[in-house]
Structure 1
């Protein structure tokens, strides 16, 4: 997560004076100013904003036992100055309503506007006479109808009879008989044999059966849903959404989350259709403040649980309570199918799912529970498909750690693109990107897993924007090799801005095929304030809006992959285990002034209606300013000590239940004033159209892989690297069995059979350090005489893109 403010940080060059809170300085360094040598400490002017520390000794050695390095402390430049938020209430207008014979949209829209917007119109299940609908059949001739009353009566009678028949059929189809079979491990992905629009070959809603019992395959508000383990619940969605699941056609993409969101078998128009999403943080990639009960159990251990590494070590030793399998118990219960139904009912159409690299494999002494969370990601695909929700898959934890924070798997040092194992860990990370890309780009999954965040929060201030751009360029080539180019082939590729600020990426990846920038803006880790929500409810507008507009124009699709309602750092383990809070003045690494007690900010049960309304106003301002967003996070688990949520400002689900999150996120449109909104559409190449994939050769050569040198390591030729000779661990697909017998093709796990280069593995005659080593000298001698090493080009100085 990432704290954005108006302070100067991300652009390391002279800039107009900006006002902002004071921050504790850090020994940051830079390598992307022409007049400043690499590793030169930043001046006070450049380090006046609090960001994740880059020096292990700066904050870590004085931490108390069990304390975690703070997770969310980065900040980037608000380089356009405070301006009113500029948003665009995106929609697709339907045809003008001329008279009551023109379209049923006239009758379905209560305000009967002359031009209707998708966000304000209601696509009722079963209607097929909207001019926007692919099955539109036209409307009757009003003059002919008026002049022939007898014909009107005849046609009316026919229509009435048809309606009676349709109602009877639909009622039969939507009758749900309880599924009494045993628990199933069925999981699944996207549209089998999908057409260009993603339409499944078996899209018509028909009843399926389990033995002699009929099961509904689709339903809207008030229908009964049967889950894959046989339990049932009532689907409540007042926004016109409908679910769809047929075990005989498990890759059918017929579901729609809401009337205004394109169904999975329809095109999502990026830049026009809004991404209103939520993270499923802490589920498959655990974090102490999201799932505190997991960690509280081992706080008194010899090595307290402060990240998933130490949690896994403690669990593995705790055989009396199930050992490491306790993590699977968490996967089973923390997020379930009903969460996906509730997310659609909340007006949300996307989920961002953090996934760690150990979903694929672990090596050496890495203690993580390997491969198991992949099984639950497959379930997430099935549930998202069932309720019409798209997935942004985010590779959240990489070998060696890309940022040194607890959510990367292990708290400590940065070892990806940094340090003596920085290049080897990057090679390994790129392999995992490739394995995931090959799976999710298959036709069965591509319409559901529609976006791929290739690396969460890489900390470029440590290893440099140039090397991050090289890594991103290689990741881009890998994903497009797996999926092919052009709209409809493979996912949108999301690049986190690496704490450099959005504007520092303008000019990069021009003409790339469907790439987007990811920003994680937070206000809560800046200087703390006693001001209430009512005094800060326009801050998101003035802090974030203009930057998002500029990035949508200059780069392309720009999303807020994370943001929350928090305006201070109060909350159990929000900064990490044992770190305290800035707000209460006990934050490790201070001193920080005491602002007050955090109790008022965490005791949500005492919040009155006025405070909840103020928090909701802050949420609306954030949504409007950020335009395309994923709230962090859907759910915060209860503390095992207090029995309740201790970080309430971070939970979308709790906010809905308690009344401080909007029941309909569309009402956010216009909150910031819309004084100068970004105007769609995106350029053609930005959405996979004409020119997509034609990145200038000057850029690809300037940012070729591998890097010539690694921060904290030296010349790439002097560092350990792997060789691509290992067997590729293809990800398994789910298994489906039809009710009438037979199986379903769920894909091989690998789309491009020509993409057959081996996995990067250790060279037998070479010496390697621990991938999580931190600062150390490269091994010497590096390799035996018989070792073959990949050629690394001589170092070159590359100018930034114009």
Structure 2
């Protein structure tokens, strides 16, 4: 999100709805229910529109599971139920049972012996995972799982507040970097295991059940690069969040939800905001380490692309946002587009082109303006634009929420329609119900708020009122206020057409309440200020000309997909000619630290399968395209590198390289940058990975 530094958490997370455990009733009634469940499972299996991989075809079918008493690992003599609809009993991944509640005809599907079966459907009107999702026709109605695998103080405030109050904490905890440092010092309370406790409890299987039951069909999941690896000196917990992302894939598959994998945080930070992992400078495609950090990021994009392009995952992980919210105005549009083209190539090389081959590639607009993207990468295979429209970070007002009921229509509808025509498919990857920046830590820890005149950036900001009494007292909102918020939410949904609300849930603060209520879809449902059926948003803007056309064939993976003209390929060839620095000026890319493609390939692990499943399914190797064998970008031992987080006004090391230089490393005499932009550079040894 574009927040300047947003965050959240809770000592006691806000529980969704309580689980209702239903005992197994022995007798004729139970037998009838079991037989009905078998019928559903058989119908789902026989009614598949497509099969996505050999593992699915060769593994035990749902019909076999239903007829074989032990096919799903159930006690001998009991029939395994692998699917059901509203009112059926589900066995959760932790072994507990609950009643599935979905008023929109959703169908869950989970057979432990056939773990990559994609028969589930979130609602009757949304395609099942084994059916084609027609972009531009089928609507993306989604939510973000913000604050989970990339923490933010305003989404999980109690996590930050609790650590801040501990005697071992020194300094202020403002981002995940400082959070991890505080946890590592807090050994009396479990040390870094506290972060995994957060992963275990903040988002669970029940959240996926509720998301489908809310009429939503997609989840956008922010992931930090540390899910793959970190280098020595980087204060992030490596690899652990990947385990929980795989759980999310399992739960999404079970309840028919598609995933937009969002690479939310890059090494060196792509925007300098706290949700990039570390608040401060940004160093991707900007400053002395801009090229090196971008090349390292391309490694991670490639690793993720190879994994999610495997047949076991590609129908569930349908979209890949390759970089969240880069600072496009400072990076420059040509350089950002060059980086995106390199990322696009990494994904398409991994997956191939054409419908069904790997994910839709999503590019954030970089805050540059949607009109600037018209005509970018014509004939690119399934390329999408991502925009994050927010009202709350603009000028503040004391006007009540009922004065904003048509604002989303007026501000966003026209530009999204024209982008569908001028660029192609566009999705609002983030938006919220907030019209002011009120809310605990919404701008960041200790950053203040514009509305109260305390924001520490820009200004001066006039004091307009008190956030708590004017905007945050949701427990006492009356019926007209709640109705106004529902209308505002519908206007946003209708104007944006394909969207992901930010975010699904916001945790309590240590005060025991949600202190940023406008950002929680779940809280809005629980308190009657979010629409219970998002389809009712259609037509809210009274738009006489919403986008109803057909996307170009190449945008949906059809004819011409991937046939990018040689002139376009040359225009965006890697690397860019130069990189901008803070304070103005630029440096030729050839004079900056860079990596060489001689490193070993790296794959991500798959989920651990049960004994019953492993007999028929393997989960893939982690690397889909065996012909994608060019080495990873890696440092050269004879070259100098700065700290990846050094800042964007520092001079590159001089000399850049000595002795033999590896393939692809650029050499040249160092041109001194303006003295006012030179600070002491921290030249480091060749970085090593923490495995």
TM-superposed deviation, 1:725: 2.2
Provide the C-alpha distance between the structure 2 equivalents of 1:777 and 1:770, rounded to a whole number of angstroms: 12
Q: 1:516-543 CA deviation, whole Å, 9 max, x = no partner?
A: 0000000011111111111111000000
Judge conservation of contact 1:175–1:216 (CA < 8 Å) in 2. Answer: no
Provide the C-alpha distance between the structure 2 equivalents of 1:764 and 1:396, rounded to a whole number of angstroms: 30
- 1:515 paired residue among 356, 377, 383: 383
Q: 1:176-223 CA deviation, whole Å, 9 max, x = no partner?
A: 9xxxxxxxxxxxxx9996269x98976545433323243310010011
TM-superposed deviation, 1:604: 1.1
Partner of 1:781: 655
Q: Does 1:259 align with 2:139?
A: no
Judge conservation of contact 2:383–2:555 (CA < 8 Å) in 1. Answer: yes
Partner of 2:107: 242
Q: Does 1:752 align with 2:622?
A: no
Q: Give the 3 Å change call, closer, same or farther, for CA 322–174 of structure 1 in structure 2.
A: farther
Q: Does 1:311 align with 2:175?
A: no
Provide the C-alpha distance between the structure 1 equivalents of 2:39 and 2:80, rounded to a whole number of angstroms: 8
Q: Does 1:194 align with 2:52?
A: yes
Q: Give the 3 Å change call, closer, same or farther, for CA 441–632 of structure 1 in structure 2.
A: same
Partner of 2:219: 351
Q: Give the 3 Å change call, closer, same or farther, for CA 447–175 of structure 1 in structure 2.
A: closer
Partner of 1:218: 83
Partner of 1:621: 491
- 2:610 paired residue among 709, 733, 737: 737
Partner of 2:241: 373
TM-superposed deviation, 1:172: 6.0
Partner of 1:396: 264
- 1:686 paired residue among 555, 563, 574: 555
| Secondary structure of the corresponding residue to residue 212 of structure 2 | helix
Provide the C-alpha distance between the structure 2 equivalents of 1:172 and 1:617, rounded to a whole number of angstroms: 39
Q: Give the 3 Å change call, closer, same or farther, for CA 602–584 of structure 1 in structure 2.
A: same
- 1:281 paired residue among 122, 146, 154: 146
TM-superposed deviation, 1:737: 2.4
Judge conservation of contact 1:685–1:693 (CA < 8 Å) in 2. Answer: yes
Q: Give the 3 Å change call, closer, same or farther, for CA 169–314 of structure 1 in structure 2.
A: closer
Aligned positions, number = 622
Judge conservation of contact 1:191–1:447 (CA < 8 Å) in 2. Answer: no
Q: Give the 3 Å change call, closer, same or farther, for CA 251–710 of structure 1 in structure 2.
A: same
TM-superposed deviation, 1:744: 2.0
TM-score by length of 1: 0.75
TM-superposed deviation, 1:297: 2.2
Q: 1:103-124 CA deviation, whole Å, 9 max, x = no partner?
A: xxxxxxxxxxxxxxxxxxxxxx
- 1:230 paired residue among 76, 95, 116: 95
Name the Cα RMSD after superposition: 2.3
Q: Give the 3 Å change call, closer, same or farther, for CA 371–70 of structure 1 in structure 2.
A: closer
Judge conservation of contact 1:434–1:479 (CA < 8 Å) in 2. Answer: yes
Provide the C-alpha distance between the structure 1 equivalents of 2:202 and 2:252, rounded to a whole number of angstroms: 16
Q: Give the 3 Å change call, closer, same or farther, for CA 192–738 of structure 1 in structure 2.
A: farther
Provide the C-alpha distance between the structure 2 equivalents of 1:263 and 1:303, rounded to a whole number of angstroms: 49
Q: Does 1:644 align with 2:518?
A: no
| Secondary structure of the corresponding residue to residue 79 of structure 2 | strand
Judge conservation of contact 1:248–1:739 (CA < 8 Å) in 2. Answer: yes
Provide the C-alpha distance between the structure 1 equivalents of 2:461 and 2:33, rounded to a whole number of angstroms: 68
| Secondary structure of the corresponding residue to residue 323 of structure 1 | coil
With 416-425 and 712-721 compared, the bigger mean Cα shift is at: 712-721
Q: 1:667-686 CA deviation, whole Å, 9 max, x = no partner?
A: 00000002112122211111
Partner of 1:459: 327
Q: 1:726-783 CA deviation, whole Å, 9 max, x = no partner?
A: 2222100112124487352110000011111222221111111100000211111111
With 307-316 and 673-682 compared, the bigger mean Cα shift is at: 673-682
TM-score by length of 2: 0.87
TM-superposed deviation, 1:695: 1.2
Q: 1:23-66 CA deviation, whole Å, 9 max, x = no partner?
A: xxxxxxxxxxxxxxxxxxxxxxxxxxxxx8xxxxxxxxxxxxxx
Q: 1:628-656 CA deviation, whole Å, 9 max, x = no partner?
A: 0000000000001x101000000000000
Q: Give the 3 Å change call, closer, same or farther, for CA 369–357 of structure 1 in structure 2.
A: same
Partner of 1:417: 285
Q: 1:280-311 CA deviation, whole Å, 9 max, x = no partner?
A: 00000000000101111243532211000011
TM-superposed deviation, 1:71: 5.2
Q: Give the 3 Å change call, closer, same or farther, for CA 609–308 of structure 1 in structure 2.
A: same
Provide the C-alpha distance between the structure 1 equivalents of 2:183 and 2:39, rounded to a whole number of angstroms: 45
Provide the C-alpha distance between the structure 2 equivalents of 1:371 and 1:577, rounded to a whole number of angstroms: 26
Provide the C-alpha distance between the structure 1 equivalents of 2:53 and 2:538, rounded to a whole number of angstroms: 33
With 302-311 and 731-740 compared, the bigger mean Cα shift is at: 731-740
Partner of 2:571: 702
Judge conservation of contact 1:738–1:744 (CA < 8 Å) in 2. Answer: no
Provide the C-alpha distance between the structure 1 equivalents of 2:51 and 2:381, rounded to a whole number of angstroms: 23
- 1:570 paired residue among 438, 455, 459: 438
Judge conservation of contact 2:183–2:192 (CA < 8 Å) in 1. Answer: yes
| Secondary structure of the corresponding residue to residue 214 of structure 1 | coil
Q: Give the 3 Å change call, closer, same or farther, for CA 503–741 of structure 1 in structure 2.
A: closer
- 2:296 paired residue among 419, 422, 428: 428
| Secondary structure of the corresponding residue to residue 368 of structure 1 | coil
Q: Give the 3 Å change call, closer, same or farther, for CA 199–222 of structure 1 in structure 2.
A: farther
Q: 1:252-295 CA deviation, whole Å, 9 max, x = no partner?
A: 00000000000001010100000000000000000000010111
Q: Give the 3 Å change call, closer, same or farther, for CA 628–242 of structure 1 in structure 2.
A: same
Q: 1:71-124 CA deviation, whole Å, 9 max, x = no partner?
A: 59xxxxxxxxxxxxxxxxxxxxxxxxxxxxxxxxxxxxxxxxxxxxxxxxxxxx
Provide the C-alpha distance between the structure 2 equivalents of 1:651 and 1:289, rounded to a whole number of angstroms: 11
Q: Does 1:560 align with 2:428?
A: yes
Provide the C-alpha distance between the structure 1 equivalents of 2:218 and 2:257, rounded to a whole number of angstroms: 5
Provide the C-alpha distance between the structure 2 equivalents of 1:203 and 1:568, rounded to a whole number of angstroms: 52
Judge conservation of contact 1:521–1:562 (CA < 8 Å) in 2. Answer: yes
| Secondary structure of the corresponding residue to residue 517 of structure 1 | strand
- 2:599 paired residue among 713, 723, 726: 726
Provide the C-alpha distance between the structure 1 equivalents of 2:203 and 2:508, rounded to a whole number of angstroms: 14
| Secondary structure of the corresponding residue to residue 656 of structure 1 | helix
With 513-522 and 771-780 compared, the bigger mean Cα shift is at: 771-780
Question: Based on CA coordinates, which of the two structures has the bigger radius of gyration?
Answer: 1
TM-superposed deviation, 1:167: 6.5
| Secondary structure of the corresponding residue to residue 620 of structure 1 | helix
Provide the C-alpha distance between the structure 1 equivalents of 2:476 and 2:545, rounded to a whole number of angstroms: 39
Judge conservation of contact 2:269–2:282 (CA < 8 Å) in 1. Answer: yes
Partner of 1:293: 158
| Secondary structure of the corresponding residue to residue 297 of structure 1 | helix
- 1:764 paired residue among 637, 648, 672: 637
Provide the C-alpha distance between the structure 2 equivalents of 1:686 and 1:739, rounded to a whole number of angstroms: 40
Provide the C-alpha distance between the structure 2 equivalents of 1:596 and 1:199, rounded to a whole number of angstroms: 62
Provide the C-alpha distance between the structure 1 equivalents of 2:402 and 2:341, rounded to a whole number of angstroms: 44
Judge conservation of contact 1:737–1:743 (CA < 8 Å) in 2. Answer: no
Provide the C-alpha distance between the structure 1 equivalents of 2:163 and 2:613, rounded to a whole number of angstroms: 49
| Secondary structure of the corresponding residue to residue 621 of structure 1 | helix
TM-superposed deviation, 1:716: 1.1
| Secondary structure of the corresponding residue to residue 362 of structure 2 | strand
